[in-house]
Amino acid sequence: MRYIDYYKVLGVERNASGDAIRRAYITLAWNYHPDLNYNFNNALVKFTLINEAYRIFEELDNRTNFKIKLEQYDKIRDIIRNQHKRTSEIKTNPQ
């Protein structure tokens, strides 16, 4: 399962205000709305993802919960990377 960073989808920082998130959403929605961008092949896919991201961040509680989950995901990813690095070092430099 791939984890989607909705902050990246909207192009905002993780500490962005609700207003900044809303402005980013409006800009992207105009840029990728399928009715306005019929020549852009992935407009519907991008527009759907933008809407999903905004729906998550619409309420402060959802944004807070997402931020917590994203931080947990980052920690787990770092632990796994470190384990892979150690395993590779052991395989290349056996004692």
Instruction: Look up the CATH number of the domain holding residue 84.
Output: 1.10.287.110
Instruction: Flag whether 77 is in a domain.
Output: yes
d(CA 60, CA 20): 13
Computed from CA positions of residues 49, 51, 54, 59, in that sequence, does the dihedral angle turn out positive or negative?
A: negative
Q: How far apart are the first and last CA of the chain?
A: 36
Number of domains present in the structure of the chain: 1
Instruction: Flag whether 13 is in a domain.
Output: yes
**How high is the pLDDT of residue 85?**
80
d(CA 90, CA 56): 42
Instruction: Flag whether 1 is in a domain.
Output: no
pLDDT in tens, 26-80: 999 999 888 887 767 788 888 999 999 998 887 766 777 777 788 888 888 888 8
Range of the domain at 88: 6-92
Instruction: Flag whether 81 is in a domain.
Output: yes
Instruction: Flag whether 73 is in a domain.
Output: yes
pTM of the model: 0.62
The residue that leads in pLDDT, 88 or 20, is 20
Does residue 1 carry a pLDDT above 60? no
